[in-house]
Amino acid sequence: MPELPDVETFRRYLDAHALHKRIAGVHVAADRVLRDLSPGQLERHLEGREISSTRRHGKHLLAVLDDGTCLTLHFGMTGHLQVFADGEADPRHDRVRLDFEDGSHLAFVDQRMFGEVGWAGNADAFVAAEDLGPDAMSLDQVAFCKLLAGRRGRIKTALTDQTLLAGLGNIYSDEILFQAGIHPKTPVESLKAEDLATLYRTMHAVLRTCIDEGAGYGDLAGRLPAGYLLPHRKEGASCPRCGGTIRSLKMSGRTAYYCPTCQPEA
DNA sequence: AGTACCACCTGACGGC
DNA sequence: TGCCGTCAGGTGGTAC
């Protein structure tokens, strides 16, 4: 789930429910999701502080604390945030929980524990150290084209390479390529300026739409406009644009879904 | 530089 | 009903 739009939803959720609340305690149920620090260290960094603002870069969410340091959150494949009140049961798979002074709680929930919770002294330094490309929602068309210029290899691989461009994963890259009419295996170098422009505009529109629909909670597929691949992203399903058959292929272990008619191979 | 494969985890689903 | 293999939206390391 958690690609750029989903993480943006989590960011807004955190803003709406956990900002400016004094952190009274920290409970780590699974050490494994802590990144390079112990539960005690995390506790010392967070206790007595409050979250002043949030930032997102690609799939990373940064909760900036009132001392300028930040809590870093990455959601892996199954992570999300959940706020709940005193007396309510902890959500299943709650791995790290912040207990606020007002009696509410913020849980980092992550079934498969591929996500990571960490702490960084400085948000900018954290982003730089992660070796992430520009955020897919923030860069402009010129920057996007520059990024891909001279790049070898396949377009889907490029779009999902976080060091090149941060935020897109398997699902959204499929959706964007589908709507742009580009086959996932298309060599980047074979794309014309016009194709790159279409790709950029499509990327922006897809991300915008999915953010607006609150990707990350509930059934996004059921809320998307007609013509989106996501609700039909299954081998043998019918293409929402041409009625043809959706196919899949493997690219380095990941499954890519596409419509052979709408996305002809070059 | 780019790609393939494995590993890290848990759970859901389909086949038998 | 139960067991088993397979697969799932992320990423890092390693080997070609």
Q: Which nucleotides of C are covered by protein (CB under 7 A)?
A: 7-12
Coil, strand or helix at A159: helix
- Mean residue pLDDT of chain A comes to 95
Nearest nucleotide to A150 by CA–C1' distance?
A: B1
Q: Are A29 and A92 in contact (CB under 8 A)?
A: no
Mean pLDDT to the nearest integer, A73-99: 95
Nearest nucleotide to A161 by CA–C1' distance?
A: C11
Q: Are A216 and A9 in contact (CB under 8 A)?
A: yes
Which of A3, A8, A175, A213 is an active site residue? A3
Mean pLDDT to the nearest integer, A255-260: 95
Q: Please name which of A115, A132, A100, A92 lies closest in space to residue A27, comparing C-alpha atoms.
A: A100
Q: In terms of DSSP bridges, do strands A79-85 and A104-110 run parallel, antiparallel, or are they unpaired? A: antiparallel
pLDDT of residue A2: 93
Mean pLDDT to the nearest integer, A105-123: 96
pLDDT digits (tens, 9 = 90+) for A177-232: 999 999 999 999 999 999 999 999 999 999 999 999 999 998 899 999 999 999 99
Q: Report which secondary-structure segment, H or E, holds A229.
A: none
Beta strands in chain A (DSSP E): 23-28, 51-57, 60-65, 70-74, 79-85, 94-100, 104-110, 116-120, 247-251, 254-258
pLDDT of residue A211: 96
A252 confidence band (pLDDT: 50, 70, 90): confident
A171 confidence band (pLDDT: 50, 70, 90): very high
**Partners of A73 in the β-ladder:** A61, A117
Q: Are A264 and A180 in contact (CB under 8 A)?
A: no
Q: Which nucleotides of B are covered by protein (CB under 7 A)?
A: 1-11
Which of A59, A95, A156, A185 is an active site residue? A59
Q: What is the DSSP letter of A238?
A: B
How far from A147 is each of A43, A91, A163, A180, A186, CA to CA, in Å? 40, 41, 11, 18, 16
Nearest nucleotide to A235 by CA–C1' distance?
A: C7
A1 confidence band (pLDDT: 50, 70, 90): low
The Cα–Cα gap between A229 and A216 comes to 17
pLDDT of residue A253: 85
A150 confidence band (pLDDT: 50, 70, 90): confident
